[in-house]
Amino acid sequence: MVNIGRPMFQVGSNIFELIEFTATKASAVPSSDRKTPILYGVNVAKVREVIRLPTIVPCLTNAPEVLGVFNLRGAPIPAIHLAKALGYNDEVVTPASQVIVTEFSSRKAGFVVAGTRRIRRVSWDKVLPPSSDAFNTITGMMLIENQDFIFILDFERILLDIESRSGGQGTSSMAIEYNQPLSSGGAAGPGGAQGAAASTRPLILVVDDSPTARRAICELLRSMQLDIIEYTNAEQAWNDLNTAEAGSDLSKVQLIVSDVEMPKLDGYSFVKRIRNSEKLKKMPIILHSSLTGDVNKDRAKQAGADAYVGKLNRKEIIEALKAALPPSWKGAS
């Protein structure tokens, strides 16, 4: 069982730490010759601690992944059977199972797993985006020793899916917008960017690798009469911003809203690059992330972000936009 300490690395280094773990005891892939369990990972910044299997009190729910709740130093924590959430319905919890206690979006949850293995220090440029949109519970994958892979899970999406099936409202006030289609403008174009039509409205660059989160933030911004250019990764956004020609859509961007955890280039490093650019250094930047807490706000400030808000927190995003955009903008009034 791994011990969680405070990650020690320089902001803007594009480095993070992840906990390597297994959700199942065996390979759990009947059609595969694989003999060992699939390896998964979660960012240490989302993990409060790893504990032995506690006493879990069952509760009524429509979601079979929810085992019940357990008491952690006086706080009730929901216990989620991660293997079942991933589709491994035959996997059973044993006394040797462990619980990864997470905290993100100001909420705590306990994910029951087969076992934790180690903490890895990883560069985001080694993390690849998932090979298909069908892997909606995976945010990235990384090749490791023995030609194996670690799959980084989207715990936020897993919780949202569970809540939607159990009759909940999701993880935020914006969750109801998750299933709405994109406004007119079409899907992302070459390079992961979506162009903005000619307009006198403020033009916002949105960078987020999660289709769910990106769709929600873009719907909010469009409802506020803001034009948008979308990117699925910060590396491509940086390259295009840095080489944008005068008169192009990207040269007219007035503000950037970016995620923090992204394959290839994280949000902190993205901000640092912009602040070190003579051409872009004055660009207002809002970081939005499920990594809540003062530590992450401090990291955003060190990187040079103008604001750090909770992911999909409508009130915080609107307030940050009001502070960053020109006074002539009336969209949030």
- Return the pLDDT at 8: 61
- The mean-pLDDT minimum among 15-19, 61-65, 286-290 falls in 61-65
Q: Could you give the 3-state DSSP secondary structure of residue 150?
A: strand
> Among 101, 130, 165, where does a domain finish?
165
Q: What is the pLDDT of residues 146-199, one digit of tens each?
A: 889 999 999 988 998 888 876 654 433 333 232 233 333 333 433 444 444 456
pLDDT given for residue 28 in this prediction? 54
| CA neighbor of 284 nearest in space, from 316, 312, 311, 258 | 258
Residue ending a domain, among 165, 194, 218, is: 165
Contact 274, 303 (CB under 8 A): no
- The identity of residue 102, as a single letter, is T
Q: What percent of the chain has pLDDT over 70?
A: 83
CA–CA separation, 91 and 38 (whole Å) = 13
CA distance 279 to 293: 32
328 — pLDDT class (breaks 50, 70, 90): confident
Angle at 313 between CA 310 and CA 316, to 5 degrees: 80
Structurally, the chain folds into a number of domains equal to 2
Q: Provide the 3-class DSSP secondary structure of residue 71.
A: strand
DSSP conformation class of 62 = S
Please report where in the chains the tokens 């503000």 appear, as a residue: 255
Same domain, 62 and 115: yes
In the prediction, which pLDDT does 199 show? 60
Question: What range defines the domain where residue 86 resides?
Answer: 15-165
The confidence score (pLDDT) of residue 33 equals 60
Q: Are strands 138-143 and 149-153 parallel, antiparallel or unpaired?
A: antiparallel
Cα gap 81→93, rounded to integer Å: 8
> Quick one: tokens of 144?
């490791």
Q: 26: which strand partners?
A: none
Per the domain annotation, does 270 fall within a domain? yes
Tell me which of 136-145, 167-176, 296-305 is least confident: 167-176
Q: What is the pLDDT of residue 300?
A: 94
* Domain shared by 133 and 183, yes or no: no
CATH of the domain at 147: 2.40.50.180
Q: Which residues of 127-157 are buried (b: 16+ CB within 10 A; e: fewer)?
A: bebbeeeeeebbbbbbeeeeeeebbbbbbbb
- In the prediction, which pLDDT does 5 show? 66
Q: State whether 188 and 315 are in the same domain.
A: yes
Q: Tens digit of pLDDT for each residue in 31-68?
A: 556 567 899 999 999 999 999 999 999 988 888 999 99
pLDDT tens for 79-108 read: 999 999 999 988 999 999 999 999 998 889
The secondary element (H helix, E strand) that includes residue 272 is helix 267-275
Please tell me the pTM assigned to this model: 0.82
191 and 155 within one domain: no
Q: What percent of the chain has pLDDT over 90?
A: 62
- Whole-angstrom Cα distance, residue 289 to residue 297? 10
- 233-256 pLDDT tens trace: 999 999 999 999 988 989 999 999
Q: Do 161 and 183 belong to one domain?
A: no
The reply to whether 27 and 146 lie within a common domain is yes
Give helix 211-223 / helix 314-324 axis angle, nearest 10°: 60
Among candidate residues 203, 200, 206, the one with its CA nearest the CA of residue 233:
206
119 pLDDT more than 90:
yes
Query: Do residue 187 and residue 87 come from a single domain?
Result: no
Question: Are 119 and 180 found together in one domain?
Answer: no
Residues 157 and 262 in one domain: no
